[in-house]
């Protein structure tokens, strides 16, 4: 398995295991998963802004930084309001490790190889996040406001996935 997909697969595996066991994460664990998943994408976006060769990839990375920072701000404000302390779990730890592995892999690449690897990961990662949101996080959230936040931000993740797929197609078509 390619290292760039580690974070995506960790998230999918964690969502699948929780769903199969019938026991999803708690609200404090969901809060940590949301913040970690967004931070992983912010960190990758920051690297892409500095390393991408395509202006379209750089623009996409800037959008990821802006949008995911906004989601993290909303999540942090909500957990503060609810007096919930985010709680680390295997899922959030695996996401962080996968994000670190992805950054290490991307750091070795340059030019069009970097652009392709970054965008390929963004496609896989956003699909994994959507699957986790739909199959595990929303169904497991017991607090109505936390569930509402997940439902509210879901369309942005879907838009990111479609944008990344479009970018992936344009990079493939340009020979990048």
Read off the CATH number of the domain in which 111 is found: 1.20.1260.10
- Does residue 145 contact residue 82 with C-beta atoms inside 8 Å? yes
**pLDDT digit string (tens) for 111-156?**
999 999 999 999 999 999 999 999 999 999 999 999 999 999 999 9
**How many other CB atoms are there within 10 angstroms of residue 74's CB atom?**
15
Q: Do 175 and 54 touch, CB atoms closer than 8 A?
A: no
**Distance spanning both ends of the chain, measured CA to CA:** 22
Report whether 145 contacts 28 (CB < 8 A): no
Using one digit for the tens of pLDDT, what is the confidence trace for 73-118? 999 999 999 999 999 999 899 989 999 999 999 999 999 999 999 9
Q: What contacts 33, CB < 8 A, 6 or more positions away?
A: 25, 89, 91, 92, 95, 132, 137
Confidence (pTM): 0.86
Please answer whether residues 42 and 69 qualify as being in contact, where contact means their C-beta atoms are separated by less than 8 angstroms: yes
Provide the pLDDT for residue 19.
45
pLDDT score recorded for residue 1 = 38
More confident call, 107 vs 2 = 107
Average pLDDT value over all residues in the chain: 88
| CA-closest candidate to residue 34, choices 143, 159, 121, 138 | 138
- Predicted local confidence at residue 175, as pLDDT: 56
pLDDT at position 24, please? 86
- How many domains in the chain? 1
**Positive/negative CA dihedral, 42, 47, 50, 53:** negative
State which residues form the domain around 33: 3-21+28-173
Q: What pLDDT score was predicted for residue 173?
A: 77
């Amino acid at each position: 398995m390619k290292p760039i997909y580690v974070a995506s697969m960790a998230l999918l595996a964690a969502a699948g295991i929780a769903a199969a066991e019938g026991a999803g994460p708690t609200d404090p664990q969901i809060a940590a998963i949301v913040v970690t998943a967004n931070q992983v994408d912010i960190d990758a976006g920051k690297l892409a802004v500095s390393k991408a060769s395509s202006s379209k990839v750089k623009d996409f990375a800037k959008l990821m930084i802006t949008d995911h920072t906004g989601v993290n701000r909303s999540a942090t404000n909500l957990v503060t309001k609810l007096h919930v302390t985010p709680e680390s779990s295997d899922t959030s730890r695996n996401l962080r490790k996968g994000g670190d592995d992805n950054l290490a892999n991307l750091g070795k690449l340059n030019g069009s190889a970097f652009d392709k690897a970054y965008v390929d990961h963004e496609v896989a990662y956003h699909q994994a996040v959507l699957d986790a949101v739909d199959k595990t996080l929303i169904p497991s959230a017991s607090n109505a406001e936390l569930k509402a936040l997940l439902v509210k931000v879901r369309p942005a993740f879907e838009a990111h996935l479609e944008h990344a797929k479009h970018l992936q197609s344009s990079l493939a078509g340009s020979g990048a």
